[in-house]
Amino acid sequence: MNSNRPVQTTQTEDLAAPASSPGPQVGNAVVRRSLRLGLQITILLCLTILVYANSLFNGFTMDDELYVQRNPQVTEHTLRLLFQPNTISNVFRPVTFATLALNWTAAGYKPFGYHLVNMFLHAGVVVLLLLVLRRVLERLPSGALISFAAALLFAVHPIHTEAVSSVVGRSELLAAGFLLAAWLFHLQDRRLLALLAFALALLSKESAIGLLPLALAGDYANGKLKHWIRYAGIAGVTLLYVAALWKVQGGHFGAASVSVLDNPLTLLPVHLRILNAIRIAWKYVGLLIFPATLSCDYSYNQILLYGNLRHLLLPTFAAVGATTLWIVVISKRQAGFLVAGAIYLVGFAATSNIVTRTGTIFAERLAYFPSAGFCLFMAILCVWLANRHRFAGIALTAAVVTGFGVRTFARNRDWRDNTALYMSAADAVPNSAKMRASRGIVYLGKNDFERSRSDLQAALAINPDYPDAIETLGLVELRSGNRESALEYLRKALEMSSLKDFDYDHRAANLAALLIEMGKLDEAMKLLNRRIAESPNYSRLWSNRAALRVALGQFAEGLADAKTALRLDPHNEQARKVLEHPQATSLH
């Protein structure tokens, strides 16, 4: 049996029409379809730009410092560094970092260009989703309308704000975009382009690994399974990537160790991790349906974990029931629901903590591609309603799109800077030690010591061994005039931190600055010399030593350290002040 044979349909011929009439009629139909598609794409692009325009004025937030501002893969942009895992998180995403490096070359520390690229990437993903769904659902009577409705919902869904409005969310945009492009090329029988796009998707983010099941689901739904060699090619690229990733990341996937603070599921045995992950998966469903309360963080101890089946059986049975229903849909070849389920399940497969543990327990950005399945499901329901009650279906779709769009526009402003982001997150996830400590840092910056201390103590009540909260309490004590107490906190925070911690150098610089202020110059110099030898790329360590050397009368050495600090960070004000010192100026 030839699996490439198209499905035959029965047509009624108009015997009264002249023999030459079908040509122009078919041509006109193609033109009308092209015009409708062009109009749909224009609407989608305009709507996407409208709801994300205010994100263009956002700054750098959260992990942007880790993956952009202090990432040599971006700031030094060499091919050798791009094709190595990140030194802090061990992620291997050369395509993502290459695009960020291009932004860095063009604009450096100015965030506008980064956000502009993200907005256009999201717009591109929206259009690609429309094109893929139109091809996959072309046998359905309302396939084109369902595809457009799904793309509309996807364009404005508020859960996407983390992926679009955060600079480092770009990995989600690139992975989804290249994955959809690969799927589209596969549907168009453009084999090499499909494999190339798939490779680029994988090199953007590892979560794009699911092209093979997506291609199979789409072809099956469309009644056009392709030759097995086509699927073997996709499987081959997948296996090559998995083997390469294993080797590059050091004989394991992801980081060698996962922070319990970021993903407490790592503490659980495998069976409890899986059951709790299934339970947590329903939280994504809740946010997709009603995205009123959103947060940039869901770390310990915002999401409760359970060690008994009483709390885990119901969500597990519900998941089994939903999966069983989807399998029934597959057997009946209900194309829309089949593809919606495939996108949703494949999209979450690599990030759900079910197959393997990941770096986080829950994150809205991880729902970026899987949400396309949810949007398709909602679009099917809206079109079904419109086919029966036209006004009700159109009104429901318009209301949902408008509501989502307004929420997205408002949520973008939470990402304008860390102050706004942490203030909103601490309200949304009050049991997160990380966000309570982060809001404590915000209050400290506003000299509101009482509120800062309250949040920091709340963070330590959740996680007593959280160095960020301990260090910030030390800074509160310092600002309050209690230098001895501050020194005790800062020493404790540094002692309990791992050398691999991203903020270790920040803590060392804070402690050194306090030691200098308190006249403990020998201890400060030993700390700075040790950390500069171990971590020579952190600007504040150099500027602290420059200030210390000037205080000791070592002006030439201080001048050299200040110049190094400014080379590493042109915005280092401490280094500039050292260079403006009269004795240092005379050495220029």
pLDDT, one tens digit per residue, over 166-199 is 999 999 999 999 999 999 999 999 999 999 999 9
Tell me: cis bond preceding 4? Omega within 30 of 0 counts: no
Mean pLDDT of 355-377: 94
Number of domains in the chain: 1
Tell me the two tokens of residue 306. Answer: 């359970």
Beta carbons within 10 angstroms of residue 141's beta carbon: 10
**Residue 30 confidence class, pLDDT cut points 50, 70, 90:** low
Share of the chain above pLDDT 70, in %: 93
Amino acid symbol at 233: G
**pLDDT greater than 90 at residue 528:** yes
* pLDDT tens-digit series, residues 324-346: 999 998 888 889 999 999 999 99
What pLDDT, on a 0 to 100 scale, did the predictor assign at position 88? Answer: 82
Write the pLDDT tens digit of every residue in 37-48.
Answer: 999 999 999 999
121: which 2 tokens?
Answer: 């990437």
SS3 (DSSP) at 519: coil
Whether 18 shows a pLDDT value over 70: the answer reads no
Mean pLDDT value across residues 49-63: 95
Give CA–CA dist 466/548, Å, rounded.
30
Span 112-121, pLDDT tens digits: 999 999 999 9
Q: What is the mean pLDDT of residues 478-495?
A: 94
Residue whose entry in the numeric block shows the structure tokens 């318009």 = 398
What is the gyration radius of the CA atoms in the chain, in angstroms? Answer: 27
- How far apart CA 564 and CA 544 sit, in angstroms, is 11
> Percent of the chain at pLDDT above 90?
77
Please report the pLDDT score of residue 502 as a whole number.
81
pLDDT at 585: 55
Provide the pLDDT for residue 588.
Answer: 53
364 falls within a domain: yes
- Collect all residues with Cβ–Cβ distance below 8 Å to 292 and sequence separation of at least 6: 407
0.85 exceeded by the pTM? Answer: yes
Inside any domain, residue 138: yes
**Residue 7: pLDDT over 80:** no
If you write DSSP's letter for every residue of 456-486 in order, what string do you get?
HHHHHHH-TT-HHHHHHHHHHHHHTT-HHHH
- The residues near 250 (Cβ < 8 Å, ≥ 6 apart) are 85, 90, 256
User: Quick one: CA dihedral 218, 220, 223, 224, positive or negative?
Assistant: positive
Q: Is residue 435 part of a domain?
A: no
How many angstroms separate the CA atoms of 369 and 203, rounded? 16
Contact 426, 438 (CB under 8 A): yes
Taking only the tens place, the pLDDT of each residue in 398-430 is 999 999 999 999 999 999 999 999 999 999 999
The confidence score (pLDDT) of residue 293 equals 96
Mean pLDDT of 481-504: 91
Measure CA of the first residue to CA of the last residue in the chain; give whole Å.
Answer: 83
Question: What was the pLDDT predicted at 113?
Answer: 96
Using the predicted structure, report yes or no on whether residue 586 has a pLDDT greater than 70.
no
Mean pLDDT of 99-121: 95
CB-based contact 154:372 (threshold 8 Å): yes
Q: pLDDT band for 14, please (50, 70, 90 cuts).
A: very low
Tell whether 425 is covered by a domain: no
Question: Which residues, 6 or more positions from 170, have their beta carbon under 8 angstroms from its beta carbon?
Answer: 96, 99, 100, 114, 117, 118, 121
User: What residues make up the domain containing 169?
Assistant: 28-414
Residue 562 domain-assigned (yes or no)? no
- Which amino acid, 142? S
- DSSP letter at 66 equals I
| 571: Cβ contacts below 8 Å, ≥ 6 apart | 109
Mean pLDDT for the stretch of residues 352-360: 89
Residue 506 within a domain:
no
Q: What is the pLDDT of the chain when averaged over all its residues?
A: 90
Q: Is the dihedral of CA 412, 416, 418, 420 positive or negative?
A: negative
Classify 264 as helix, strand or coil.
Answer: helix
Cβ-based neighbours of 463, under 8 Å, separated by 6 or more: 261, 300, 301, 433, 469
* HSE (side-chain half, CA atoms, 13 Å) at 390: 0
CB 314 within 8 A of CB 476: no
Angle at 465 between CA 454 and CA 279, to 5 degrees: 90
Residue 203 lies in a domain: yes
Of 290, 138, 163, which Cα lies nearest the Cα of 219?
Answer: 138
The three-class DSSP label of residue 268 is coil
pLDDT at 584: 54
Residue 446 lies in a domain: no
Region 72-99 average pLDDT: 89
Q: Pick the closest to residue 559 from 545, 569, 571 (CA basis).
A: 545
